[in-house]
């Protein structure tokens, strides 16, 4: 079976962000600002995901996303209970989520959601389960025009 990289390699633009599960969003934002000089770019609630998230930027444009749960049934709540705080996802920007899902499906890799969902800053997102990727949850991100 081809690796996921071969399957959607033609659609990948690069790493969009790394997502960290945190207990206290305000405290985590302060920590990333004070320790590393990251700049708060945006902060929003995603009710569908049951989270509040903040995107922080570095001067080269790289991004760290802080993810806090606002719903005990959310993926972030489950992650925090099982793993504690830490890296929850690696997000890759793609040119087309719909096409990525099709190409993954052909390689018997089903996306976590049957259809793309709304992500931060007007993006569309879907996920590849860590069982396909060596234990890393991959988020696919498409910026809407």
Under rule CB under 6 A, which residues in 48-77 are in contact with ligand CMX? 49, 51, 53, 67, 75-76
Nearer to ligand CMX, 22 or 125 (CB): 125
CA atoms within a 13 Å half-sphere pointing along the CA-CB vector of 119: 24
Pairwise CA distance, residues 56 & 43, whole Å: 9
Q: Hey, is 136 helix, strand or coil?
A: coil
Nearer to ligand CMX, 37 or 86 (CB): 86
Nearer to ligand CMX, 34 or 84 (CB): 84
Q: Does 119 bind ligand CMX (CB under 6 A)?
A: yes
Rounded to the nearest 10°, the torsion over CA 114, 65, 70, 123 is -40
Instruction: Tell me the number of residues near ligand CMX by CB under 6 A.
Output: 23
Instruction: Provide, rounded to whole angstroms, the least separation between the CB of residue 129 and ligand CMX.
Output: 5
Q: Does 9 bind ligand CMX (CB under 6 A)?
A: no
Under rule CB under 6 A, which residues in 11-40 are in contact with ligand CMX? 19
Distances (CA, A) of 14 to 63, 77, 83, 90, 143: 12, 28, 27, 11, 13
Near ligand CMX by CB under 6 A, which window of 22-30, 32-40, 99-107, 128-136?
Answer: 128-136
**DSSP result, 31-61:** HHHHHH--EEEEEEEETTTTEEEEEEE-TTS
Please report, as ranges, the residues that interact with ligand CMX according to CB under 6 A.
19, 46, 49, 51, 53, 67, 75-76, 78-79, 82, 88-89, 112, 119-120, 125, 127, 129-130, 135, 137, 139
């Amino acid at each position: 079976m081809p690796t996921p990289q071969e399957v959607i390699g033609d659609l990948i633009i690069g790493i969009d962000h790394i997502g960290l599960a945190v207990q206290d969003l305000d405290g985590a934002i302060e920590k990333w600002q004070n320790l590393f000089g990251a700049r708060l770019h945006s902060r929003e609630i995603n009710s569908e995901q049951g989270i509040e998230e903040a995107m922080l930027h570095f001067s080269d444009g790289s991004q760290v996303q802080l993810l806090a749960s606002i719903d005990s049934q959310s993926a972030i709540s489950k992650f925090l209970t099982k793993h504690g705080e830490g890296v929850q996802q690696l997000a890759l920007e793609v040119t087309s989520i719909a096409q990525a899902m099709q190409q993954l499906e052909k390689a018997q890799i089903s996306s976590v959601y049957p259809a793309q969902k709304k992500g931060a800053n007007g993006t569309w997102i879907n996920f590849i389960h860590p069982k396909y990727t060596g234990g890393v949850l991959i988020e696919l991100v498409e910026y809407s025009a």
